[in-house]
Structure 1
Amino acid sequence: MSRVIQTDGVGKRRRRLLQMLGWALRELMVQTRPDERTLNLAAFIAELLGAVDATIEETTTPWEKRGYWLKADRFRREWRWAGQLQREMEAATLSQDWDEIARLAGQVFTHVGHVKVPKRLKLDPAWEQAYERLKTRA
């Protein structure tokens, strides 16, 4: 039997998630007033932050199996912001605290502002129902 090669590695998925985060943040920042679209974008950002946070353990587990504990701990520290900001963004979105959402979006942007968003970024319309999914999870 031949070896199975996974072409969609965790690093690729994390990069794609960061690109989607960059797109969502830019869309959120051009909103002039809070509405349903703004809520969906904020909830989508929280979902993406959670997905980024999930990739961290997936990355560090093989390193720990090989004994690279310092490397894994350093990587976790560098990406700790994703999980923290996800929880804060979810709470702010559920309470519809627009000032807090704007502040958190700025914090997220400090981490993903360097990411280049492709002009033809393919997003499925799943972000449009993100607020409803967030409410059902809460």
Structure 2
Amino acid sequence: MARIIHAGETPAKRRRAHTRASAEALRLLAERPSLAAGAFDPEAKDLVGYLVYQLRGIGETIEDAAQSWDDRNYWRKSEKLRADYRWAPQTADQLEALVVADDWDAVVPVLVSLIPRFADVTIAKMTRDADHWVGAHRALLRRAEKAAA
């Protein structure tokens, strides 16, 4: 019997896309000199909301990939994968709590702590434009309102 190759959408492919999107968002945020003072304009707030969604996406792909390793009884590999990326959903939750609380001064250190996580991503050219993150801040606030209700 021939080996089955899944050339379509895989968790690793989705994770790379989320990682690249996160790295691009961090780069755009780092290029804003006003953020050092904690001054977030509406676009910067949208970028932070977009980053929260991308970090959640990374976490979801990890669980999908780890589950497939568990199904093959590679439990060490699956646990290592979960441990290596445990930071992503935790940081997303932390950022979301800060955004909902409107504590923008505390967001900057969290963003700075993310930079080493994406240091290996090379960005020669930006592949996403503002259409990807416009409205992400508002969507994040709505999500929090629904969760609280």
- TM-score, structure 1 normalization: 0.90
Stretches of 4+ moved more than 2 A in 1?
A: 3-8
Distance 2:124 2:13 in 1: 14
Match of 2:147 in 1: none
Aligned length: 136
Q: 1:66 pairs with 60, 65, 72, which one?
A: 72
Distance 1:40 1:135 in 2: 11
Counterpart residue identity of residue 131, structure 1? H
1:121 aligns with 2:122: no
Judging changes above 3 Å, is the alpha-carbon distance between structure 1 residues 54 and 23 closer, same or farther for their aligned structure 2 residues?
same
The unaligned stretches of length 5 or more in structure 1 are none
Taking only aligned residues, the RMSD between alpha carbons, in angstroms, comes to: 1.7
| Residue of structure 1 equivalent to 2:52 | 46
Q: Deviations over 1:43-73 (max 9, x none)?
A: 1111100010000111011111111111111
Of residues 112, 115, 140, the one that matches 1:106 is: 112
1:10-52 deviations in whole A, cap 9, x for unaligned?
Answer: 2111111111111100111222131111111111111100010
**Residues of 1 paired with 2:122 and 2:133: CA distance?**
20
Report percent identity of matched pairs.
26
**Relative to structure 2, which stretch is displaced further, 111-120 or 63-72?**
111-120
Q: Does the CA contact (< 8 Å) of 1:20 and 1:117 recur in 2? A: no
For residues 86 and 67 of structure 1, what CA distance do their matches in structure 2 show? 29
Q: Which string of whole-angstrom CA distances, capped at 9 and with x for unpartnered residues, describes residues 96-127 of structure 1?
A: 22222111111111111221124141446131
**Within the alignment, does 1:7 sit opposite 2:8 as a pair?**
yes
Give the secondary structure class of the aligned counterpart of 2:56.
Answer: helix
Aligned with residue 96 of structure 1, among 85, 92, 102: 102
